[in-house]
Amino acid sequence: MKETLLGCEEKEEERRKEEEVIKTLNYKPIADESEVLVRQVSMEEVVQKIHEGSALWKVRGVNKWFHRHYKVDIDNMCLVGESKKWWSSGGNTSGDGAENAVPLVDITEVRKGWKTDTFNKVSTHSEKLKEKGGGADEPLLEELKCFSVIHGPGGREVLDLVASSEEERDAWVTGLSHLVQMVRSLYEEKQYDVWLRDQFKQADKDNNKALNFDEICSLLKNINLQMDKSHAKKLFNQANTNKQKKDGQQVLEVDEFVAFYHALLKMSEVEKLYKEHSSEGSQLMSPEQLCSFLQSCQGMSNCDESEATKIINEFEKSNLKEEGYMTFDGK
């Protein structure tokens, strides 16, 4: 009887462990505070908030603070700061009162807190005043309300800003970071398409501005893209919208080739699984999310975040690799 009870207890313990494993595979860790904000408020609402803008303090040094109305110009994809005199009179971003706009594509990072030289100087000055019994702890100096926009060539330019609340600061950081990622992805895709067009021209030996299926297969091999020929042929026929022939063979022009190439990368089932595990709206996958994907979809139960990071570093080609993210097509 005792042995039977022990056996039941062992089975119950095994069942409990299996449940814990299932919970672990389904669990998606929260990377940071901004992800919490995205879950609480839709990204559309966050973007709308920073599009409408808000009054922020621009900090250039000790006692050098300037009240500005900042907003994101969605049409021109840039961050614009407007002086109080100008924005209170109902100006627009093309007026003389607007400060130099910061293109979103030029933004390299959006930092929370005091993580720049200017903020470090301001915070040090504030602490010294407190030690001397002066300089009361002003709300403006709260680190939880501060953030910095790093931009320009090599990230050498810095815009230090202070919001009216931590919630407002988080909305700016989350919304800006999201838009910067989107713009950067579009820019890199455009640059990649330029590269693809150049590869097409190099493969067009007879300069007839078209490639047949065999020539395209040879081109794909040269750029190290593995493919299933039957699947590639099917996509080739779908991309061949003009139905042109050269020397009796169906051919693709450069625009058709670019469309064919992207279609070849985007296999529907893989893309569906990827979207389920990547960040909502951005299609970027962090090491934690990649690890979850490999565990639940590929059966790699021993995969950990360090292994996922190695995979990203080895196979991701875009600049987002430096930030620890993987894109769907690795470009």
Determine what percent of the chain is predicted with pLDDT higher than 70.
71
Domain co-membership, 89 together with 136:
yes
Domain co-membership, 65 together with 127:
yes
Please say if the pLDDT value at position 23 is more than 50: no
Domain co-membership, 254 together with 274:
no
Tell me which of 250, 265, 280 is where a domain ends: 265
Separation between Cα atoms, residue 50 and residue 53, nearest integer Å: 5
Contact 296, 308 (CB under 8 A): no
Domain co-membership, 74 together with 141:
yes
Separation between Cα atoms, residue 249 and residue 229, nearest integer Å: 17
Let me know if residue 35 belongs to a domain: no
Domain co-membership, 252 together with 231:
yes
Tell me which of 151, 173, 195 is where a domain ends: 173
Separation between Cα atoms, residue 80 and residue 93, nearest integer Å: 7
The pLDDT of 5-33, averaged and rounded, is: 40
Let me know if residue 192 belongs to a domain: no
Highest mean pLDDT (candidates 7-21, 87-101, 118-132, 252-266): 252-266
Query: Count of domains in the chain?
Result: 3
Contact 71, 53 (CB under 8 A): yes
Domain co-membership, 212 together with 253:
yes
pLDDT of the residue at 227:
76
pLDDT of the residue at 149:
94
3-state helix, strand, coil in the chain (%, to 5): 55, 15, 30
Let me know if residue 295 belongs to a domain: yes
Range from 57-61, 155-159, 248-252, 283-287 carrying the lowest mean pLDDT: 283-287
Let me know if residue 97 belongs to a domain: yes
The pLDDT of 131-153, averaged and rounded, is: 75
The model's pLDDT over 81-131, given as tens digits with 9 standing for 90+, comes to 887 554 443 444 444 444 568 899 899 999 998 888 888 888 787 777 777
Domain co-membership, 93 together with 166:
yes
Domain co-membership, 240 together with 287:
no
pLDDT of the residue at 55:
92
Let me know if residue 168 belongs to a domain: yes
pLDDT of the residue at 294:
78
If DSSP codes are grouped into helix, strand and coil, which group holds residue 246?
Answer: strand
Closest CA relative to residue 111, chosen from 66, 62, 160, 64: 160
pLDDT of the residue at 7:
46
Let me know if residue 191 belongs to a domain: no
Tell me which of 156, 173, 190 is where a domain ends: 173
CATH code for the domain in which residue 219 is found = 1.10.238
pTM score, two decimals? 0.55
Contact 327, 320 (CB under 8 A): yes
If DSSP codes are grouped into helix, strand and coil, which group holds residue 267?
Answer: coil
Domain co-membership, 141 together with 240:
no
Let me know if residue 152 belongs to a domain: yes
Please say if the pLDDT value at position 139 is more than 50: no
Range from 127-141, 213-227, 245-259 carrying the lowest mean pLDDT: 127-141
Largest CA distance in the chain: 90
The model's pLDDT over 36-95, given as tens digits with 9 standing for 90+, comes to 333 444 678 888 899 999 999 998 887 788 889 999 998 888 999 887 554 443 444 444
Domain co-membership, 53 together with 168:
yes
pLDDT of the residue at 212:
93
Domain co-membership, 257 together with 273:
no
Domain co-membership, 79 together with 140:
yes
CATH code for the domain in which residue 73 is found = 2.30.29.30
Per the structure, the complete domain to which residue 301 belongs is given by 268-323
Contacts 24+ apart (CB under 8 A), 167-171: 168/54, 169/112, 169/144, 169/145, 170/33, 170/34, 170/37, 170/112, 171/37, 171/41, 171/46, 171/49, 171/50
pLDDT of the residue at 38:
39
pLDDT of the residue at 242:
84
Let me know if residue 230 belongs to a domain: yes
pLDDT of the residue at 163:
93
Q: How many CA atoms lie within 13 A of 327 on its CB side?
A: 20
The model's pLDDT over 198-234, given as tens digits with 9 standing for 90+, comes to 999 999 998 889 999 999 999 998 888 777 788 889 8
